[in-house]
């Protein structure tokens, strides 16, 4: 919690749609736990149910604003987080592969662990096609539709929420994850409870349009990447999400959580991996 406060505080004067934090304390005597306060932000959260106002031009405007708000995050000076000891200037992608790959290997060895072939294949592909370090930026780490507040009157994002995983790293990891979590019209919905399906409706922009809106809103030279490069990061996003949720599924099997959603991950995790693997270009 206090790490999230530090991220929000570091970005408070940047042109980023973050709630302003006003107070933080680690004194558990006050409320029984560390806490921080932030300003109230108006807006709605959209998950897997399309609100009544999400029709017509609002569909296109909101999804494209998702791309613009992400670009604003990446336009912020990453040294804001580096100097606050909230991230490192290099090595992000390599650390992601090592951390989440190691996490999977650990849970695979549990008595109820699963050795899923799609995960093995994706891990090998991500390793073989590792693109190296890109220019560093502030990265959110979990940027998707249900982590923003939206003004129904304007179909614009009022605030970006849930900064627990924010750090400094490869901005294309955020963009690829957003695309994976934002099914395009006619596209495949991996798991509606997580990726949602509202953006797969007619009138929402395609992944190509989302990427272009993002590029146009970015500052600095963006010639180092092409739309084809984003496939790697979409696959990475699905692989990482599946790994994280497999941990939750194993906790469910061990009886340490009674959330009924976790039971759905028996089929949900393989589904997420299947969709991620289907994005990998055919060899040849």
User: For residue 266, what are the CA distances in angstroms to 246, 250, 253?
Assistant: 9, 9, 10
Could you tell me which of 241, 187, 190 has the C-alpha nearest to residue 209?
A: 187
Q: Which of 66, 73, 147 is nearest to 58 (CA)?
A: 66
Strands (E) in 1-114, as ranges, are 21-25, 35-38
- Position 187 scores a pLDDT of 83
CATH architecture, domain defined by 41-278: Alpha-Beta Complex (3.90)
Q: Please say if the pLDDT value at position 48 is more than 90.
A: no
Evaluate whether 25 touches 36 at the Cβ level (below 8 Å): yes
Write down the pLDDT at residue 174.
99
The answer to whether residue 157 scores a pLDDT higher than 80 is yes
Q: How far apart are CA 90 and CA 83, in angstroms?
A: 14
pLDDT for the residue 95: 96
Taking 70 as the threshold, does the pLDDT of residue 284 lie above it? no
**Taking residues 168-179, what's their average pLDDT?**
98
| pLDDT confidence band for 193 (50 / 70 / 90) | confident
Q: Report yes or no: 252 and 262 within 8 Å, Cβ to Cβ.
A: yes
How far is Cα 274 from Cα 258, in angstroms, rounded to an integer? Answer: 26
Tell me the C-alpha distance between 282 and 267, whole Å: 25
The top-scoring range by mean pLDDT among 31-45, 166-180, 249-263 is 166-180
pLDDT in tens, 232-280: 999 999 999 999 999 999 999 999 988 889 999 999 999 999 999 999 9
pLDDT: is 46 or 29 the higher one? 46
pLDDT, one tens digit per residue, over 140-155 is: 999 999 999 999 999 9
CA neighbor of 176 nearest in space, from 135, 149, 211, 138: 211
Task: Give residue for tokens 């039971």.
Answer: 263
- Mean confidence (pLDDT) of the chain: 94
Cβ of 171: how many Cβ atoms within 10 Å? 27
pLDDT digits (tens, 9 = 90+) for 197-228: 899 999 999 999 999 999 999 999 999 999 99
- DSSP-assigned states of every residue in 49-72: S--TT--THHHHHHHHHHHHHHHH
d(CA 205, CA 58): 11
| pLDDT over 90, % of the chain | 86
Q: What's the confidence (pLDDT) of residue 283?
A: 63
pLDDT above 70: percentage of residues in the chain: 99
Tell me what the mean pLDDT of segment 62-82 comes to: 98
User: What pLDDT, on the 0 to 100 scale, is given for residue 188?
Assistant: 81
**Kind and range of the H or E element at 20?**
none
| Domain residue ranges in the chain | 41-278
Q: Find the distance separating the first CA and the last CA of the chain, reported in whole Å.
A: 47
């Amino acid at each position: 919690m206090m790490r999230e406060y530090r991220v929000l505080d570091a970005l408070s004067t940047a042109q980023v749609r973050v709630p302003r934090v006003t107070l933080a304390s680690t004194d558990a005597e006050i409320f029984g736990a560390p806490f921080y306060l932030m300003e109230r932000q108006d807006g709605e959260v959209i998950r897997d149910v399309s609100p009544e106002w999400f029709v017509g031009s609002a569909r296109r405007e909101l999804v494209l604003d998702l791309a613009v708000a992400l670009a604003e995050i990446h336009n912020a000076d990453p040294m804001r987080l580096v100097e606050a000891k909230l991230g490192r200037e290099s090595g992000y992608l390599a650390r992601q592969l090592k951390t989440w790959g190691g996490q999977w290997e650990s849970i695979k060895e549990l008595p109820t662990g699963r050795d899923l072939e799609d995960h093995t294949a994706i891990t090998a592909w991500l390793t073989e096609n590792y693109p190296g370090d890109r220019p560093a930026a502030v990265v959110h780490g979990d940027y998707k539709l249900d982590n923003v507040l939206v003004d129904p009157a304007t179909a614009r994002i009022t605030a970006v929420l849930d900064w627990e995983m924010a750090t400094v790293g490869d901005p294309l990891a955020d963009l690829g994850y957003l695309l994976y979590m934002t099914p395009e019209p006619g596209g495949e919905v991996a798991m509606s409870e997580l990726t949602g399906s509202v953006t797969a409706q007619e009138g929402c922009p395609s992944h190509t349009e989302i990427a272009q809106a993002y590029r146009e809103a970015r500052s600095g030279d963006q010639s180092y990447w092409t739309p084809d490069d984003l496939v790697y990061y979409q696959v990475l996003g699905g692989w990482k999400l599946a790994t994280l949720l497999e941990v939750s599924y194993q906790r469910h099997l061990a009886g340490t959580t009674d959330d009924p959603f976790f039971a759905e991950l028996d089929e949900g995790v393989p589904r997420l991996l299947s969709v991620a693997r289907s994005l990998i270009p055919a060899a040849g």
